[in-house]
Amino acid sequence: MIALFSGGSGSGKSAMAEAFAVRVSQESGRGLYYLATMRASGAEGAARVAKHRRQRAGKGFLTVECPSRLPCGIAGGTVLLECLSNRLANAMFGDGERDPVVRILAEIDALAASNDLIVVTNEVFSDGGAYDAATCAYIENLGKLNRALAERAALVIESVYSLPIVHKGVWR
Amino acid sequence: MIVLVFGGRAQGKTEYLRKRFSLAPQDIAAQIGAQKAIVHLEKLVRQEGAASILAKLEQRFAAGDCFLCCDEVGMGIVPTDAAERRYRDEVGALLCALAQRADRVVRVFAGIGQVLK
């Protein structure tokens, strides 16, 4: 099962996805894994990581730091990938991966084959800003990933300031 | 009753509030006071941050019905400027808290309200 959670900055999507992952895990009895993709730099990055750690503390997540390639050895778990937008940014701007969309989709398919996979992504598509070619390519690639994930997902939720809009599936 | 309305810029949010809840121009202010409706919360966030506004609104709620209006921000590329990033997170924190607190939450799209709560 794949579930996709999206939303803008500060929309509460992470908290919503975490709560959902905990519920899924409690129902299935499958352990919780948290795939942390952020490559934190500077005080602001450290503060953001600390905020997310506080938010999920005590919920039973086993955190796996994976700013580059996603681990393929996890099976029979409830896996929360936080988040697709950082994974893509690292692949494009940090690691210079060729064909990042194909690579990331292959990782996701491998994980989803033997786990319940909950993916957090990001809405970066609606500010109408004029950006350089690299940023435009990033927007295109994240759009492709979001669409491919939404097609595979049983549940697609947009978090709007902590309230869910259900784009696909049944939210309970 | 607390009503929260948000949406993109220039979507007719204030107009929606005015018509839907029969508010007169003098009922609407861009500051936290005695008026029924408080608009442009996003500008107040720029001035004083989310925590301060939340505390003031909590006091205001005790005085009776309150209609709140705010721009939805944060649906674009993460800004390179740290203060702009913080601003988006602050608006998000304020609206997440208010969405939980409000009796009704409406997102306005091209003048049309979508009731989220």
pLDDT in tens, B1-25: 999 999 998 889 999 999 999 999 9
pLDDT in tens, A61-85: 999 999 999 998 999 999 999 999 9
Question: What is the CATH number for B46?
Answer: 3.40.50.300
pLDDT in tens, B46-76: 999 999 999 999 999 999 999 999 999 999 9
Task: Give the pLDDT band (50/70/90) at residue A136.
Answer: very high
Q: How many domains does chain B have?
A: 1
**What is the Cα–Cα distance from A109 to A68, expressed in whole angstroms?**
16
Domain A2-168 part of CATH 3.40.50.970 = no
Task: Find the CB nearest A161 among B85, B89, B92.
Answer: B92
Stretch A17-34: mean pLDDT, rounded?
97
pLDDT in tens, B73-99: 999 999 989 999 999 999 999 999 999
Q: Is residue B15 part of a domain?
A: no
Q: Is A134:A94 a contact under the CB 8 Å cutoff?
A: no
| Six-digit token string for A150 | 């939404």
Domain ranges for chain A: 2-168
Question: Could you report the predicted ipTM of this complex, rounded to two decimals?
Answer: 0.87
Whether residue B82 lies within 8 A of chain A, CB to CB, comes out as yes
Q: What are phi and psi of A35, to 5 degrees?
A: -90, 105
- Inter-CA distances, B60 with A28, A65, A134, A160, Å: 45, 44, 47, 24
Q: Is residue B32 part of a domain?
A: no
% of chain A at pLDDT higher than 70: 100
Q: Is residue B22 part of a domain?
A: no
Q: Is residue B26 part of a domain?
A: no
**Inter-chain CB proximity A126 and B8 less than 8 Å:** yes
Chain B CB contacts of A131 under 8 Å are 77
Q: Is residue B77 part of a domain?
A: yes
**What is the Cα–Cα distance from B42 to A109, expressed in whole angstroms?**
40
Task: Give the pLDDT band (50/70/90) at residue A8.
Answer: very high
pLDDT in tens, A68-127: 999 989 999 999 999 999 999 999 999 999 999 999 999 999 999 999 999 999 999 988
Task: Find the CB nearest A161 among B76, B85, B95.
Answer: B95
- Inter-CA distances, B43 with A73, A85, B49, B50, B70, Å: 48, 28, 9, 11, 9
Q: What's the half-sphere exposure (Cβ side, CA atoms, 13 Å) at A122? A: 23
**What is the Cα–Cα distance from A99 to B44, expressed in whole angstroms?**
43
Stretch A154-166: mean pLDDT, rounded?
97
Task: Give the pLDDT band (50/70/90) at residue A34.
Answer: very high
Stretch A39-63: mean pLDDT, rounded?
88
**Inter-chain CB proximity A10 and B99 less than 8 Å:** no
**Inter-chain CB proximity A127 and B82 less than 8 Å:** no
Q: Residue B97's domain spans which residues? A: 2-8+40-115
